[in-house]
Structures are given as C-alpha cells and as structure tokens.
A and B are shown apart, each in its own frame.
Chain A
Amino acid sequence: MTRSVRRTRTLQLAGAGAAALMALSACSSSSDSEKDSGATASSASPKLSGTVNVFAAASLQESFTTLGKKFESEHPGTKVTFNFGGSDTLAANITGGAPADVFAAASPKTMAIVTDKKDAVGTPATFVRNQLEIATVPGNPHKVDSLKDLTGSGLKVVLCDKTVPCGAAAQKALDASKLKLTPVSYEQDVKGALTKVELKEADAAVVYKTDVHAAGDKVEGVEFPESADAINDYPIALLKNAPNAEAAKAFIALVRSAEGQKVLSQAGFLKP
C-alpha cells in the first residue's frame, strides 16, 4: 500500500522535474476561451476584444491561469495568453521588445529593469506579497518550529542560492535574527529547494508560502516570525508598448479586484 503510493509520487516528481525544465524554456500557456457560463461581467464597460499578452513570474502560473479563464468568460471575445517564466528573463524579453501588454514580476528589483527602460506605464502596483516559510518533510519528524531550529546540527537544510530572490530573502531573515545557518546546498531556484524536501533528501528548506501551498501534502509548512523581515512584493504594470492596452488594464483591474485577490490568496499569497 505505502509502496504503491510512494511509487505514484515518485513518478509525479519525475514529471515535475521535467516540467521544471520545460518552464526554463519559457513555454507559454494559453487556454481557449470558454463559452459564457452565466457568470458574465456586471459592469458594461467598453466592449473589450482581442488578445491580452501577460508576462508573469512562474510562481503565479496557477492563480493567473485561473484568472485568465475568468477574464475570458467575463469578456467574451477576448483571449488571455501567458508567458510564465523567471522574472529576470521576462524582464529581459520585455526590454528586448517582446510584444507584451502586462508584466507581473516576482520582485521590485526585476520590475525595476523594465521601469528603468521606461517600458512601463505609470508606477507599478504591488498586487500581492509572498512570505517565506519553512518546508519540512510531511509530519515534521524533526519538530522544526522556528528558524533557529534549522541551525541545529544533524539537520539537512537546503536554501536557495543568494543570487536568486528566495535565497536573498532567506539570508535577509537569517541576518535579521542573527542566525548562522550552513545548508547542505544552495539551490538554483525555489523549485530545486522544494524538490529536495519532497524527495526527503533534505529535512527542511526555506521557500515561499506559495510553494509550500502548491506542493500540497508532499511537504509541511512551518511559519516563522522572522519571515516578516523578508517579504517579497509582486508588482504588476501595464506596458508602454502594449498592443491591447484597454484589455490589459481590465486584466490588471481583475487581478487587483477582490475577486482576483481571493484567487491569489488561495494560492498562498498575502494581500499587499
């Protein structure tokens, strides 16, 4: 019994690994517009049409896909296409002239790349925030309760590398609490860190709340107060060369609406 469960999980993980690789090569995901299913828009604002191109951080994939479908059903005749990827890559694409309407980044720093080039319209708005959390193996056998518990010897902890946002954030939290933590590995991204815990190779990792959320019951999340010192803001902006500015504005509005925030908080994001 246990064995078969394990096997399924390992297969999923292998799949996840492959998927992670695919994500590196920036696959765009689009969903066909659904037929009006009754839940139509209340406001009879200007008639929107055409395609909205949204460049968004990979961590937003689930919630934005949901929102995209919602948008399409509220505005028949529109279509939302996404380009999910690393924020820095997306920023480079945008400054390089990629045809995008909306950019949702995982950090102000990456957004700054775009605003510095004056490619955004107005000031980017923070629409969600993401907080660090400790991910432990299910059941938390090592009774990790705080950031300090991670520094205990004999515990295999993985962190993100300092060069990537989650690693920088974790370092910030550690510094703030004057803790010194030697991990077994500095992973290249948050997925890498999470995978190690999912496979039980590491006992714990410091990742984002949303990642713990997305991992379901494969990891267990442990909140820690120091994470308040390292909260990541996610800014969203309309882009200057947006081919479909009107629809793009409407999409940003949806993201920032109560409805949008509900979807995002379900994924583990914090309200701004």
Chain B
Amino acid sequence: MTSLDKPAAAGPRTDRPRRRRVGTGARRGVPLPLLVPGLLGLAFLLVPLLALLVRAPWRGLPEQLTSPEVWQALQLSLITATAATAVSLVLGVPLAWLLARTEFPGRGLLRALVTLPLVLPPVVGGVALLLALGRNGIVGKWLDAWFGITLPFTTTGVIIAEAFVAMPFLVISVEGTLRAADPRYEEAATTLGASRFTAFRRVTLPLIAPGIAAGAVLAWARALGEFGATITFAGNFPGRTQTMPLAVYLALQNDPDAAIALSLVLLAVSIAVLAGLRDRWMTAS
C-alpha cells in the first residue's frame, strides 16, 4: 500500500504541471524536522516488505504458487474479506450515522466501545466471539437450538470474525466523515419534503461516499490480513476456514520459504486491488 505513494512523492520534483495537484510546497521548502522523520517512517514501513522480497525463494516460487492449496486459501481470503466488508457496510454505515447524528445519553461511551475491537488482541476477540456466538455462547446457544445454526468452524464464521475486527475501521472512518459533513444538508432535504431516511439516502450518503469508500478499503484490508480472531473463532480447515494468513502462519512453522511465498501472493493481490480502487476514485473525484 505504502509503495503506492512513491510516485506521488516523486511528483513535485519531476513534474512541474502536476505540482499544483501534489502539493503547494516547493521541495526546497520542506523543513528538515519533517523530512527526516518522514523518510525514516517511509523506510520503516517499506524495509520489512523489501526484506520479504529479497528473501523470497524466487526459484521455488512457481512451484509454491501453483499448489491448489494456495489458490484455495487465496480465493477464500478474497471472498471472506469482501463479504466481511459488505457486512461492515450494511451494519457499520447506519451505526456510524447513529453515533454521529443522534443524541443520547452514553453516546461517548458507546463510541469508545465500538472502537474496542481495535485494541482488543484479535485472539481475545476470537474467544469473545466464541463466548457470544459459539455453540455454547450466550447467543449462539439459541441460534443452535432454534435454527440449528452453528457458526464456529464455518466459512460464515470466518466472515463474522473478520467483520468483527474490520468493522470498527469502517465505523470510525464513516463517522469521522459524517461529523465533518454539514448536517444542514439533511435539514435542507427535510424542508424539501424528504423524510430523514430519504435525506440520508439521497443526500448524506452521496456526500460521504468518499469516506465510506476509504473506510471500506481499510476494513477490507484489515479483513484480508485477519488472523487471530479467525483462527480462534472459525478454526483452520483448508478450503473452508483456512484463509491466506492462516496458511502463512502454519507454513511458517516448518517451511519459512513457503510462508514467504504465500505472503508475497497476499501482498501482490492486496496491492493490485488497493491500487485499482485508488485510481478509480482519483478519476471519479
């Protein structure tokens, strides 16, 4: 993801006409106290990825990558991460709206609680999900008794675990955008005869679309890399619940080369998707 910023960073130097777009500050005007830590930060983020590339078993790579298990895991990862993002959108955008646009006692506390999965170690999140939605969980018990639904060890379970960890990113992002957006547009819409929901759908939603998109990408990326909650809640079974990060972790136990190869695949796919989305927005806006 970070590598995407590279061309932009190089822009001001080489491309005069584009300077206006990239930033107003001339290069020589960049203060050293910002430039040095900034570049250090960039290196800090990029060097580990670079190391992964350097140490990659390039010779054995084709063989590693053509194994059906890898494709199975990759496919499952993409499907579940996308589904988890969809779940996050459907539930998270309305939640963000409630947090940003309504007043009720304890809202501040609720906002903090919503962000809790961000700080919770994912493994603990997985345990918490088991306690809630597991076969003997406080909710899962009834799902099992009434509908015969058990979530652990299923692909649905993977999606739930990923959504649990990823949704806060979306909610935070969308809520931030909503707070920054002028609520009076909604008022203007209601004075024109729109119900509050119509106002949300036809005015607010289009206005905060960039924030939603950014939040969705964050959530998708987080879901794609999710490990702890997934393996704890949904277990690890090839083709059903074994996503790429799980495959990478287990490969790491006795075949680091395979782990590196798998990581590269995950990395390449995420970069491709994120770069694709980014370009699309940039042209759209």
**In this complex, which of A17, A187, A201 has the most chain B Cβ atoms within 10 angstroms of its Cβ?**
A201
Interface segment, one of A34-42, A69-77, A158-166, A220-228: A158-166
Q: Per-residue CB proximity of A183-210 to B under 8 Å, as 1/0?
A: 1111110001001100111100000000
Bound Cα distance A13, B132 (Å): 13
CB-based A-B contact count at 8 angstroms: 80
Partner of A163, one of B121, B241, B251: B251
Q: Residue A246 at the B interface, CB < 8 A?
A: no
Minimum Cβ distance to chain A for residue B72 (Å)? 14
Residues A187 and B231 in contact in the complex (CB < 8 Å), given A18-B124, A200-B135: yes
How many chain B residues touch A (CB < 8 A): the figure is 30
Q: Is the interface of A mostly helix, strand, loop or mixed?
A: mixed
Q: How far is the CA of A195 from the CA of B228 in the complex (A)?
A: 14
Set B123, B250, B255: member contacting A21, Cβ < 8 A: B123
- Kindly state the separation between the CA atoms of A184 and B228 in the bound complex, as whole angstroms: 17
- In contact, B251 and A14 (Cβ under 8 angstroms): no
A192 and B131: CB pair below 8 A? Answer: no
Which residue of the partner chain, among B124, B153, B249, contacts A188 with CB atoms under 8 Å?
B249
A residues near B215, Cβ cutoff 8 Å: none
User: Is A161 touching B124 in the complex (CB atoms < 8 A)?
Assistant: no
Report the interface size for chain A: residues with CB under 8 A from the other chain: 26
Inter-subunit contact A18/B250 (CB<8 Å) = no
| B111-129, CB < 8 A from A | 121, 123-124, 126-128
Instruction: Give the dominant DSSP class at B's interface.
Output: helix
Contact call A200/B136, Cβ cutoff below 8 A: yes
B254 within 8 A of A: yes
In the bound complex, what is the Cα–Cα distance between A14 and B249 (angstroms)? 22
Q: Taking A21-B124, A184-B153, A185-B236 as contacts, is the C-beta distance between A14 and B246 under 8 angstroms?
A: no
Q: Which residues of A contact B123 (CB under 8 A)?
A: 17-18, 20-21
> At the interface, yes or no: A146 with Cβ under 8 Å from chain B?
no
Residues of chain A within 8 A of B131, CB atoms compared: 10, 13-14, 199
Determine whether the beta carbon of B237 is less than 8 Å from that of A201.
no
Bound together, the chains give a CA A14 to CA B238 distance in angstroms of: 26
| Contact (A188, B236) CB under 8 Å given A21-B121, A21-B123, A161-B250 | yes
A195:B135 contact, CB within 8 angstroms: no
From known contacts A184-B153, A185-B153, infer whether A201 and B135 are also in contact, taking CB-CB under 8 Å: yes
Determine whether B134 belongs to the interface, using a CB cutoff of 8 Å to chain A.
yes
The residue from B124, B134, B236, B251 contacting A187, defined by CB atoms under 8 A apart: B236
Cβ-closest chain B residue relative to A182 = B237
- Assess whether A156 is interfacial by the CB under 8 Å rule: yes
> Which residues of chain A have C-beta atoms less than 8 A from B255's C-beta?
163
User: Would you call A229 an interface residue if the criterion is a C-beta within 8 Å of the partner chain's C-beta atoms?
Assistant: no
**In the complex, A195→B232 CA distance in Å?**
9
For the complex, give the distance between the alpha carbons of A200 and B137 in Å: 9
Query: Complex: how many Å from CA A10 to CA B130?
Result: 10
What are 10 A-B interface contacts by the 8 Å CB criterion? A17-B123, A17-B232, A21-B228, A161-B253, A163-B250, A163-B251, A185-B234, A192-B231, A199-B134, A201-B153
In order of increasing CB-CB distance, the 10 nearest A-B pairs are: A185-B235, A163-B253, A184-B153, A17-B127, A200-B136, A201-B134, A201-B152, A186-B236, A17-B124, A163-B254
Q: Which residues of A contact B (CB under 8 A)?
A: 10, 13-14, 17-18, 20-21, 88, 156, 158, 161, 163-164, 183-188, 192, 195-196, 199-202
Additional A-B contacts beyond A185-B236, A188-B250 (7; CB < 8 A): A185-B237, A186-B242, A186-B250, A188-B249, A199-B130, A201-B134, A201-B136
